[in-house]
Amino acid sequence: MIFAQAIGGIGFWEVVKYAVDIVAIVAGAYAIMVARRKFEKVKISPQPLRATIEGEVETRSKARRFNAEACDLRHAGIVDRLDGHDDDIAELWRTMRAEDKEMRDQLLKTVKELDARMAELPSQIVALLKNTGQIIDHKRS
């Protein structure tokens, strides 16, 4: 690093940054190579679908943990779980609609009460001002 600093006038942290970049590039290339090894092509013979094909056919390898029986069991479990979720969602909608109606009724009742209080407010203000002597009521005869 001292040599790089002397020749190019590059700072210490710039050299460290370049070193980290090189390590990241090498790690990324290694990850790509490892990922490609997982998907090596394998030859399947005889063909499981009984297709009449000359020679062997190359296909991508499949995960070994899935077979027809396991998929059927897993699918049945998923269907049951989704049906249960559908029922839960329907119940939530019913609850929300009922609560929405209750909230709207309560809001309407509160607005009516506020309107009634607002209608009484001017007369209460005038009465308060008269009681404090700020408004003198002169009755003309």
Identify whether 128 is part of a domain. Answer: no
CA dihedral 58, 59, 62, 67 (to 10 degrees): -90
* Segment 19-47 mean pLDDT: 79
Terminal CA-CA length for the chain: 108
In a domain, 93, yes or no: no
* Cα dihedral 35, 41, 42, 46 sign: positive
- Residue 49 within a domain: yes
Q: Is the CA virtual torsion 108, 110, 116, 118 positive or negative?
A: negative
pLDDT in tens, 58-72: 555 555 566 777 777
Asked if residue 135 is part of any domain, the answer here is: no
pLDDT range class, residue 103, cuts 50, 70, 90: very high
What is the tally of structural domains in the chain?
1
- Average pLDDT (101-105) is 91
Question: In this structure, what are the phi and psi dihedrals at residue 50, rounded to the nearest 5 degrees?
Answer: 55, 35
pLDDT in tens, 34-48: 877 776 666 666 555
In a domain, 75, yes or no: no
Rounded to an integer, what distance in angstroms lies between the CA atom of residue 120 and that of residue 91?
44
Q: Which helix (H) or strand (E) holds 58?
A: strand 57-60
Average pLDDT for 71-79: 78
DSSP 41: E
- Calculate the average pLDDT of the chain: 78
pLDDT of 134 = 79
With a cut of 50, say whether residue 141 has pLDDT above it.
no
pTM greater than the 0.85 cutoff: no
What domain range is 54 assigned to? Answer: 1-62
The 3-state DSSP class for residue 59 equals: strand
Does 27 reside within a domain? yes
